[in-house]
Chains A and B, each alone.
Chain A
Amino acid sequence: MLREAPATTRIPALLKSNEKEILQDWLKEQTGSASFRADLLKEKDLREESHTFLGALQTATQGNSIDDVAGEGWSGVKDFLSDLSRSRAQAGFTPSETATFVFSLKQPLFSMLRREMKGDAEGLVKEMLGTSVLLDKLGLFTTEAYQATREDVISRQKDELLELSTPVVELWDDVLAVPLVGTLDSARTQIVMETLLEKIVSTGASIAIIDITGVPTVDTLVAQHLLKTVAATRLMGADCIISGIRPQIAQTIVHLGVNLGEVITKATLADAFRVALQRTGWRIEKKDGERG
C-alpha cells in the first residue's frame, strides 16, 4: 500500500534515517518546555505518542504532498491528532499545551534539515518553509479537534444541568408539577417532555401542572413547545394545567393568536393545584368545619 514514489520533499527520507535523533530532540523540547504538564502526562506515554506520530508523519509525507493536508493520505495523521486532542482535552490540558505537541517538532526538524542540507541553501529554505507551514496546519488542526472535544463535554454537562434543573414534583396523589425556570428552548422542551412522561408512567398521575412563572418570555416558539408538551401528556392519558400566566403573557398569547385550545390555564400554581385536587376528587376542609 505504501508507494515508494519519489517524494516531493526530503522529509520522509530524513525522518527515516534520523528517527532516533529526532525523537530524542523532540522529547527534550516537549519536556523542557515551560508548558509541559508532568503532572498530567508520563514521559513514557509521551515517548510512545511521539514515536507513533513520527511514524504516521513519515508515511504521510512519503506518498503525499505536504502542501495539502486535506487529502485521504493524511487521514492517518489527522485521526491520530484527533485522538490525542481528545485525550488531552479530557485530561485537562489547555489548547496551547495540546498544540505544543506539534509545534515543538519544528525545532528538531529544522536542526536536522540544517545538518543534512549544509551545502544547499536554497533547498534548505524551501524545505524549512514547507515543513513550517505543514506543522502550522497540523497544529491548528489539533486545536480545532481540541475545541470539538471541549464542546462535546460542555454539551453533555449542559444536558445534565438541564435535567437537574427540570425537576418534576409529586405534588399530591395523581398530581405532578413542573416548575419551569429559565428559557424554554427545544432542547429544554425535550428534557421536560421525557422527564414528565416517565414520571407519569411511574406515578400513574393523571394531572400535570406546568408552571411558567419562571419563564421570562413567551413567544410563538415557546408557546409551540408548551403545546407540544401538553399534547404528549394527553397521549399518556393525563391532563395538563398551565399556571403562572402573568398578565403580559396573557396579552402576548392573544396577540400572537396562539390557540391554547382546551388547555386549562391559571394565574398561580395554587389556583392550578386547587383545580387539580377538585378534578381528582379531593376536597379540602378547614379543621373547624369551614369548607376550603
Chain B
Amino acid sequence: MIPRGAAQRPVAGGVKLPSRTPEDIVRIRQLLREQAKAIGFSLVDQTKIVTAASELARNTMVYGGGGEVEIQFLSEGMRKGLRLTFIDQGPGIADVELAMKDGFTTGGGLGLGLGGAKRLCNEFSIDSRPGSGTRVTIARWK
C-alpha cells in the first residue's frame, strides 16, 4: 500500500541495533514495543509488528550469521508509522519465492517466517541473492 501525497520524510534518524544474539532479539522487541506504543499503535498492531520483527531478527541471527536492524520513525502528514530494515551479510537466499511460502512444521519448508511476517505488516520487501547477503524491509502504519 503506497501512501498518497507528500513523500515520506522520516522525522528522526533511524536507531540501529545489532541482531546477532538471542539477547539482541529481546532488546529489539522491547525497544520496538516502546516505540510502537509511543506512536499510538493499538495493542494488536503493536503485537503484530513486534512479532514480525522477532521473526526477521531471528532469521538474521540464525541464517544470516548475525546482522543489524534499523528502526525508522515514519511521518507523513498525520500518518505515523515505523519502518524496520534487517540487513545481514550471510549466504543469501537462493529461491526467495520458495522462502516466502509457509512451513513451520519441524521439517517441511524453510521455516523462515517470511510469509507470516509479510502478512503482519503493511509493507514488505526483500532483496536477497546467494553470496550478497539479505535485506528485508517492513513497515507498519498507524
Contact = CB atoms under 8 A, between A and B. Distances in A.
A170 interface: no
Interface in A31-59: none
Interface in B5-20: 5-6, 9
A145 B77 contact: yes
A152 B6 CA distance: 16
B44 A194 contact: yes
Binding site of B, secondary structure by majority: helix, strand, loop or mixed?
Answer: loop
B44 A82 contact: no
A190 B77 contact: no
Interface size class on chain A is 10 to 19
A61 interface: no
Given A190-B44, A194-B44, A152 B5 contact: no
B44 A152 contact: no
Interface of A: 75, 78, 82, 86, 144-145, 148-149, 152, 190, 194
B9 to A, nearest CB: 8
Chain A's interface: helix, strand, loop or mixed, by majority? Answer: helix
A229 to B, nearest CB: 14
Nearest to A72: B9
Contacts of B9: 75
12 contacts: A75-B9, A78-B6, A82-B77, A86-B78, A144-B5, A145-B77, A148-B5, A148-B77, A148-B78, A149-B78, A152-B78, A194-B44
A145 B77 CA distance: 8
A82 B79 CA distance: 12
Interface string B88-131: 00000000000000000000000000000000000000000000
A279 B53 CA distance: 40
